[in-house]
Structure 1
Amino acid sequence: MALFNPPEHLSCHHYATHANSGWLRVDGSGQSSYRGMTEYHSILFCTRGSVRLAIADELWELHEGQMKFIPRGTSVTAIFSDDGELLDAYFEVVDFICDKVSLLQLQELRQEVAYDPEPLEVRGAIHSLLNTLKVYLNDQALCAYLHELKVKELFWNLRAYYSREELAAFFWPILGESKFHSDVISAFTCNAKVAELAERVYMSTSSFYKRFREEFGISPEQWIRLQSNKQILFLIQDYDLSIGEIASQLSFNSQSTFSRYCSKNFGLSPLQLRRTLQEGTSSEELLQMSYHNE
């Protein structure tokens, strides 16, 4: 069903308003991969099929009926199954609209809960909310006011159907996280130089080295290499992408530069790397191989 009298909706100022919270629907049948917007925090819901996710330095698989929180400033790539579908709830502020719980109160639980990065199962009326959102989005109901109300409704449901401990574990990545940590993740690009990363977060290289070791526990070079290798292993499994397209997406200057990087870090060319994965070698095994090539 289409909206009744679309010109009337389009003339409303809410349709012309830039929203700091809202909803996106991404259908894998029309595209095999999706790069999420990282300007805002997001909760990704798999509403059909399954979706493989590369979230910063982690690889995940999201199945129908599961959700995953993505902090602002995180690099996200999704590769869909044939029938895969995502709903992306994005927002600037985590707001439970409730006197009984707030983000500050969840921060107090941070030391008491173990961080569990596994996707969380969707519960209660959130199922109905997502189905309603799919209808709205399919009918091009792009009213900023409506989207904001539905994000608030989502947070009411989170408060209603999950314990504080579950919510603290779910939103753990932003509980007590330093600005430096989120700035580094936001500034990261594949195969970046340490000096480039330091410049992007407005620090001298020497200060960046010291702060980075304090926050991440390893050297910037080790971390950059690990994140770069994980991104390569994720994209190389998207067989719809050519090697040249992967090199471009990962910000390599040329396909030959990308090939040299793979040979140095994995001992394999990009095509050999893809073939090795097709033959059943896991990404984890290849990451271990890359450690020995340092």
Structure 2
Amino acid sequence: MSILYLEEHSSCSNYISDFCSSFKHYILNKGRFLYSKEKGYHCILFMLHGKISVSIDSQRYILEKNTSIFIPLHSAYQISTLLDSTFIISYFDKPIDLCEKTALESLKFTEPEPCNTSPVLKLKEPFELFLSSLELYLKEGASCKHFHAIKQKEMFFIFRYFYTRNEVYSFFKTIISRDLDFKSTVLQNYSNVTSVKELAEKCNYSLSSFNRCFKDNFNESPSIWLQTQKIKHIKIKLNNKNISFSQIINEFNFSSPSHFTVFCRKHLHLTPSEYRKSLR
């Protein structure tokens, strides 16, 4: 069976041209190597047939049929085929979660059982069925980014529906544990962004995950917190009379002097000039 009108689909602007949210199908003969060219993405490797060796940041793992391994963002990895092998790699820049029940950060206080610390995961029947159909789609050239995004959502649902919390934690622990450094990451990046969405991207979170994790750590919404920080820093700038109003307007991305004045009236209850006069 072949995809109908493939040429029409492949000419669409939504046809995948990068690794941001996609699956790639690999068929390699024995003795071949694959190196990490796309370090800006997390990877999940699903082994379909054969046998391979995967080295991740100097750690070596053997994968055979119906096993999988997670390769975190920025990892240096090398794949070498010990037998003729077929596998699929899912590339994504942040874990997908559709609700708080499926979010990976909900597992951050889970500790792996001593018998379940291997990063290599045995694929269960739901994944075997999922990968069988996915392989067909990829072979036939199904590369619409919307289609791949839907399949990645399905992939994460399978993890949360058919694997224990302990199994999921053990598999993704390298990115789940990073939440312990969430506050420091926010504090390092918040002054360089203009929106909550941009801050979430800087911290490598989906927006929904970021909002939940932020409230857990800071006890308020990120939008309110960012606004409070902005007000605090503007007051610091206004306190320094050597800094002009135009400099403040440019630094904090106000659209005009009147926009800046409205902001100060609302949050400082004074115009910028009145605020400075009050310091005398």
User: Is the TM-score greater than 0.5?
Assistant: yes
2:10 aligned with 1:10, yes or no? yes
Is residue 49–residue 85 contact of structure 2 (8 Å, CA) maintained in 1? yes
Q: Does 1:150 align with 2:151?
A: yes
The runs of at least 4 consecutive aligned structure 1 residues that moved more than 6 Å come to none
Partner of 1:78: 79
- Cα separation, 2, equivalents of 1:134 and 1:30: 20
Tell me, which stretches of 5 or more residues in structure 1 are unaligned?
180-294
Write out aligned runs for 1:96-175 (5 A): 96-110=97-111, 113=113, 116-175=117-176
1:158–1:16: structure 2 CA closer, same or farther, 3 Å change rule? Answer: closer
Kindly provide the CA deviation profile for residues 113-162 of structure 1, in whole angstroms up to 9, marking residues without a partner as x.
Answer: 55713411001311111111111111111111111111110001111110
Paired letter, 2:11: S
Deviations 1:225-277 (A, max 9, x none): xxxxxxxxxxxxxxxxxxxxxxxxxxxxxxxxxxxxxxxxxxxxxxxxxxxxx
CA contact (8 A) 1:124 1:161 kept: no
One-letter code aligned to 1:74: S
- TM-aligned CA deviation for residue 103 of structure 1: 2.0
**Pair 1:82–1:166, CA change in 2 (3 A):** closer
Amino acid at match of 2:50: G
SS at match of 2:84: coil
CA separation in 2, counterparts of 1:26 and 1:17? 17
In structure 2, C-alpha distance between the alignment counterparts of 1:16 and 1:24, rounded to whole Å: 11
Instruction: Classify 1:82/1:151 alpha carbon distance in 2 versus 1 (closer, same or farther; 3 Å).
Output: same
Residues 30/165 of structure 1: CA separation in 2 closer, same or farther (3 Å cut) = closer
Note the alpha carbon deviations across 1:155-211, whole angstroms, 9 max, x for none: 0111111011111111111122359xxxxxxxxxxxxxxxxxxxxxxxxxxxxxxxx
Deviations 1:40-88 (A, max 9, x none): 1111111001111111120111010100111000011111133211110
Distance 1:34 1:17, change over 3 A: closer
Query: Is 2:29 aligned against 1:29?
Result: yes
Kindly report the root-mean-square deviation, in angstroms, between the aligned alpha carbons of the 2 structures: 2.2
Residue 16 of structure 1: how far off its partner (Å): 5.5
2:203 maps to none
Q: Unaligned regions of 5+ residues in structure 2, if any? A: 183-280
Cα displacement (A) at 1:30: 8.3
Q: Pick the structure with greater CA Rg.
A: 2
> 1:47 and 1:13, CA in 2 relative to 1: closer, same or farther beyond 3 A?
same
Asked whether the 8 Å contact 1:41–1:92 carries over to 2, the reply is yes
Aligned partners of 2:175 and 2:35: how far apart in 1?
21
Please tell me whether the aligned partners of residues 50 and 81 of structure 1 are also in contact (alpha carbons under 8 angstroms): yes
Distance change >3 Å, CA 22–CA 102, structure 1 → 2: same
Percent sequence identity over aligned pairs? 25
In structure 2, the residue matched to 1:40 is 41
Partners of 1:49 and 1:83 lie apart in 2 by 6
Amino acid at match of 1:81: L
How far off its partner does 1:19 sit?
A: 5.3
Q: Is the 8 A contact 1:18 1:144 kept in 2?
A: no
Residue matched to 1:90: 91
Shift of residue 2, structure 1, vs aligned partner: 3.3
Matches within 5 A, 1:62-77: 62-77=63-78
Cα distance in 2 between the residues matched to 1:31 and 1:141: 29
Distance 1:87 1:7 in 2: 24
Q: 2:16 and 2:45 mapped to 1: Cα distance?
A: 25
Change (3 A) 1:22 1:31: farther
Aligned-partner residue type, residue 3 of structure 2? L
Amino acid at match of 1:153: E
Match of 1:50 in 2: 51
Q: How does 1:223-234 map to 2 (within 5 A)?
A: none
How far off is 1:18 after superposition? 4.3
Query: Is the partner of 1:150 in helix, strand or coil?
Result: helix
- TM-score normalised according to structure 2 size: 0.58
Report the 3-state secondary structure (helix = DSSP H, G, I; strand = E; otherwise coil) of the residue aligned with 2:129.
helix
Shift in CA distance, 80/93, structure 1 to aligned 2, threshold 3 Å:
same
